[in-house]
Chains A and B, each alone.
Chain A
Amino acid sequence: MSKTSRLHPALKRALTSATPPAHAAARLHPLGVPAIDRTLGGGLAAGHLHELFAGDGADEANTLAAAVMLALCLTRVATPAPAILWLRETAAQRKAGLHGPGLADLGLNPARLILCLLPDTAALLRAGVDALRCAGLGAVVLELGGNPALLDLTASRRLALAAEASGVTPLLVRTRGARPTPSAARTRWQVTAAPSVALAADAPGHPALTLALLRQRGGGAGLDWTVEWNRDAGCFRPAAFPGARLPLSGGGSGPSSDEADGSDDNAGWHIAV
């Protein structure tokens, strides 16, 4: 103490008010939809716990996809792309396994994903806390089915604290009839499937989801948005009005430009809102 008191006052001030490490301040990653980013105060906060609930039993694949999409949003700017750890119960993987080509089709290179299969909730939460202390990961997805008693406020706070210290973002995916309980999550979302914007020949289009923000710590909530996943940009975009038609890119099955002299024919292939 006696040594510091002899320091120059300006230096002392600078030392005491030293800026916290970069990850301590929440870094915000925009999701790409202005309305959502405005509500979130700029984007999804890294280093904080986010919860994703499946709207219904049939929405589980959509909720998993939403976790993949959010993880991609969170790691978009980092180079080289960091690894993403997915903690899953063995039973869940046996029932509906994550499919490598499907991940690639959402824009996540499967080589970046490390799948960790765990026997039970306790092992999963413990592995989750350990993983969150490891700053080298891009995001940690914890997938839990039902309402395990172990996942209480204390457990979620433990996850949130580990995340804040390292800056790694935990995404807690709750499936199989999970109900929201008090937790330390910064945001809580409900994911449901939404009709996609059909492509040519009435083909199902890009992944479309309805994201409902159920709760946000220190911010507005209770809103929902229907969004579409833009794999090529790695972000969401507002979904076009359902029933609109979009052209297939690359001109594979749409009318080619040199064939269509009259541009009127082409009009039908653009968004008709």
Chain B
Amino acid sequence: MPAGTSPSKLAPLVFTVKERGAFRLHALDADALAAGLTPGMPLADARARVPTLHARPHDPAGETRLLERLADLCDRFTPMIEIAPPDGLLLDITGCAHLFGGETALARDALRLMRAQGLRTRAVRAATPEAALALARLDDTLRAGAMGDEAAVRRLPLIALRAETEALLALRRAGFATIGDLADLPPAPLAARFGAELVDVRDRLLGRLDSRIAPRRPPPPIHVERRFAEPVVHVETVLAALDELLALACRQLAERHQGGRRFAARLYRSDGAMRDLAVETGQPVREPALVLRLLRERIEALADPLDPGFGFDLVRLAVPVVETLGAAQAALNGERAQDADVAALLDRLAARLGPGCLRRFVPRDTHLPERAARLVPHGQEAQAALTWATPPPGEPPLRPLALLDPPERVEAVAQVPDGPPRQFRWRGALHRIARQEGPERIAPEWWRRPEGHAGNPGLTRDYYRVEDESGRRFWLFRHGLYERETAQPHWYVHGLFA
């Protein structure tokens, strides 16, 4: 059932792929099919038959995107959706249909939604996903949204088995034409001749074997929703509804002794557009006011503001990530409250500025200064294997407070080529060195190089802590050992001490 995506009646539309050096038709709209064109036909032949033919190259990525978007749209019916490429969506509506006034009404709603997108679609209900898909693709006698019963499945041609071409040919040669011909055969001889898989597929089509869809995303542990009788155009009203939903979700969380780490709200506009708002928290929370405040921050920080258009008709709130959270008890000195304060502040900043704005320092087991400390997003620092070492008492700082990345090249003068520097020029100013300490020799990490020691292991650095005459302290290094590694070692400023 090729999807016809062209609502215009101007010309038949086809999509082509290049196969064996020639363009061939891949997908056709209804007008093209009516004109007698078939998939696989060379484009030149098709043009000869229909000169007004409108041909476009086939875009598989675009097709996937479209299906994803349609699946998002259908999210309002059920969270259990599977994409059946190239042209199908499978919805598991078990337990959802009564919300829409029955299964038939749900199917009608879905078709209306698709029509609003400019698509011609068919909807079929069946006991198993395989049967529904086969009926939707192969049986055009069923009414829209009708229930496909066993009789309908029995009428289907063998192609519904989706078997290999040879297997189909063998079945046809054996005298079978429809699923019905196979339906009542004993499984053992059938499996012996055509393979056990064929029997499984037959039984699934006929609803004798249970099968489930694999939803494209697992349903979140907690989700609540609110439908509006009339589309709502005021953002404040939507937020009020969200507040109610949050209270509901938080009550569920409290019953389960859990707190949410991620809250995702999805606003469905009546014209099919959707808007996602998601906030994350550093600690599991279940306070509606707190989450609502984060959501407000998120809305304020949106690059393109929330556009209600003709109004939102459905608000859904999901808590995809939950963690155990016991009942909170404040300590007498209010310590816990302060910790919670800081966590709430950090969540708010992250909601406003993006999760990457908050960073924590994490030590790493390396002696290369630029790799020794890593800045990780807040919340990931607990995974660090190392802790910070306390410096030995009485030592001056051996590592700079500010590290220049990359190090800045300077012109330095040393008395001897492998000796300490006497003066250097950095950012246009000359610094005469009054005191220095070094070298602290740091070898390259040759084990990280592709060829290790054997290839180019990198240059050794000789670091000097220096202080100029005005009291400024720098961390200089000479890149490469004189004569052993390089003839002309360069000097760099790598850091600034207090």
Q: Could you say which of A96, A131, A209, A248 contacts B402, with CB atoms under 8 Å apart? A: A96
Say whether A204 contacts B437, CB under 8 Å: yes
Instruction: Check: A164 CB closer than 8 A to any chain B CB.
Output: no
**With A105-B399, A204-B497 as given contacts, are A110 and B361 in contact (CB-CB < 8 Å)?**
yes
A117-141, CB under 8 A of B: which get 1 and which 0? 1110001000100110111110000
Q: Could you say which of B357, B392, B402, B435 contacts A116, with CB atoms under 8 Å apart? A: B357
Say whether B471 contacts A196, CB under 8 Å: yes
**A97 CB contacts on chain B under 8 angstroms:** 375, 402-405
Interface residue tally on B, bucketed by range: 35 or more
- The distance from the CB of B48 to the nearest CB of chain A, in whole angstroms, is 60
**With A100-B361, A111-B381 as given contacts, are A208 and B429 in contact (CB-CB < 8 Å)?**
no
Which residues A145-171 have CB closer than 8 A to chain B? Answer: none
User: In the complex, what distance in Å separates the CA atom of A195 from the CA atom of B468?
Assistant: 8
**A49 CB contacts on chain B under 8 angstroms:** none
Instruction: Check: A221 CB closer than 8 A to any chain B CB.
Output: no
- Minimal Cβ-Cβ distance residue in B for A242: B471
Instruction: Check: B269 CB closer than 8 A to any chain A CB.
Output: no
User: In the complex, what distance in Å separates the CA atom of A192 from the CA atom of B436?
Assistant: 20
Instruction: Check: B400 CB closer than 8 A to any chain A CB.
Output: yes
Most buried by B among A62, A64, A199, A209: A62
Instruction: Check: B346 CB closer than 8 A to any chain A CB.
Output: yes
B326-364, CB under 8 A of A: which get 1 and which 0? 000000000001111110111011001100111111110
Instruction: Check: B185 CB closer than 8 A to any chain A CB.
Output: no
User: In the complex, what distance in Å separates the CA atom of A101 from the CA atom of B365?
Assistant: 12
User: In the complex, what distance in Å separates the CA atom of A169 from the CA atom of B58?
Assistant: 62
Instruction: Check: A244 CB closer than 8 A to any chain B CB.
Output: no
Instruction: Check: A172 CB closer than 8 A to any chain B CB.
Output: no
User: In the complex, what distance in Å separates the CA atom of A199 from the CA atom of B467?
Assistant: 12
Say whether B401 contacts A103, CB under 8 Å: yes
**With A105-B398, A106-B401 as given contacts, are A203 and B465 in contact (CB-CB < 8 Å)?**
yes
Say whether A130 contacts B397, CB under 8 Å: no
Instruction: Check: A33 CB closer than 8 A to any chain B CB.
Output: no
- Minimal Cβ-Cβ distance residue in A for B335: A80
User: In the complex, what distance in Å separates the CA atom of A64 from the CA atom of B473?
Assistant: 14
Say whether B498 contacts A209, CB under 8 Å: yes
Say whether A101 contacts B373, CB under 8 Å: yes
Instruction: Check: B95 CB closer than 8 A to any chain A CB.
Output: no
Instruction: Check: A65 CB closer than 8 A to any chain B CB.
Output: yes
Say whether B363 contacts A61, CB under 8 Å: no
- The distance from the CB of B239 to the nearest CB of chain A, in whole angstroms, is 20
User: In the complex, what distance in Å separates the CA atom of A59 from the CA atom of B429?
Assistant: 13
Instruction: Check: B496 CB closer than 8 A to any chain A CB.
Output: yes
Instruction: Check: A207 CB closer than 8 A to any chain B CB.
Output: yes
- The distance from the CB of B222 to the nearest CB of chain A, in whole angstroms, is 28
**With A100-B363, A105-B397 as given contacts, are A250 and B392 in contact (CB-CB < 8 Å)?**
yes
User: In the complex, what distance in Å separates the CA atom of A99 from the CA atom of B402?
Assistant: 5
Instruction: Check: A256 CB closer than 8 A to any chain B CB.
Output: no
User: In the complex, what distance in Å separates the CA atom of A96 from the CA atom of B346?
Assistant: 24
Q: Could you say which of A103, A192, A202 contacts B435, with CB atoms under 8 Å apart? A: A202
B420-446, CB under 8 A of A: which get 1 and which 0? 000000010100001111000000000
Say whether A111 contacts B498, CB under 8 Å: no
A192-235, CB under 8 A of B: which get 1 and which 0? 11111011011111111100000000000000000001011000
Instruction: Check: B395 CB closer than 8 A to any chain A CB.
Output: yes
Say whether B403 contacts A130, CB under 8 Å: no
- The distance from the CB of B166 to the nearest CB of chain A, in whole angstroms, is 62
**A272 CB contacts on chain B under 8 angstroms:** none
B375-409, CB under 8 A of A: which get 1 and which 0? 10010010000011111111111111111110000
Instruction: Check: B191 CB closer than 8 A to any chain A CB.
Output: no
Say whether A102 contacts B397, CB under 8 Å: yes
**With A59-B472, A136-B341, A198-B435 as given contacts, are A100 and B358 in contact (CB-CB < 8 Å)?**
no
Say whether B360 contacts A115, CB under 8 Å: yes
Say whether A96 contacts B342, CB under 8 Å: no
Say whether B403 contacts A109, CB under 8 Å: no
Which residues A56-105 have CB closer than 8 A to chain B? Answer: 57-62, 64-66, 68-69, 82-83, 94-105
User: In the complex, what distance in Å separates the CA atom of A192 from the CA atom of B342?
Assistant: 33
User: In the complex, what distance in Å separates the CA atom of A83 from the CA atom of B469?
Assistant: 36
- Minimal Cβ-Cβ distance residue in A for B373: A100
Instruction: Check: A240 CB closer than 8 A to any chain B CB.
Output: no
Q: Could you say which of B345, B391, B405 contacts A134, with CB atoms under 8 Å apart? A: B345
**A111 CB contacts on chain B under 8 angstroms:** 360-361, 381, 387-388
- The distance from the CB of B81 to the nearest CB of chain A, in whole angstroms, is 37
Say whether A106 contacts B467, CB under 8 Å: no
Which residues B244-277 have CB closer than 8 A to chain A? Answer: none
**B346 CB contacts on chain A under 8 angstroms:** 114
**B436 CB contacts on chain A under 8 angstroms:** 202-204
Instruction: Check: B44 CB closer than 8 A to any chain A CB.
Output: no
- Minimal Cβ-Cβ distance residue in B for A97: B403
**A94 CB contacts on chain B under 8 angstroms:** 405
**With A68-B401, A135-B338 as given contacts, are A96 and B496 in contact (CB-CB < 8 Å)?**
yes
Binding site for A on B (CB under 8 A): 337-342, 344-346, 348-349, 352-353, 356-363, 369, 372-373, 375, 378, 381, 387-405, 427, 429, 434-437, 465-467, 469-473, 495-498
15 extra interface residue pairs, beta carbon distance < 8 Å, beyond A68-B401, A97-B403: A64-B401, A98-B403, A100-B363, A102-B399, A123-B352, A131-B345, A135-B338, A136-B340, A195-B469, A203-B465, A204-B437, A204-B473, A206-B397, A232-B394, A250-B395
Selected A-B contacts with CB under 8 Å, 15 pairs: A96-B404, A97-B402, A99-B495, A102-B497, A105-B397, A107-B391, A109-B388, A110-B363, A118-B357, A123-B353, A193-B471, A196-B396, A231-B397, A232-B393, A249-B393
Across the A-B interface, give the 4 residue pairs with the lowest CB-CB distance, nearest first. A249-B394, A100-B373, A65-B498, A136-B338
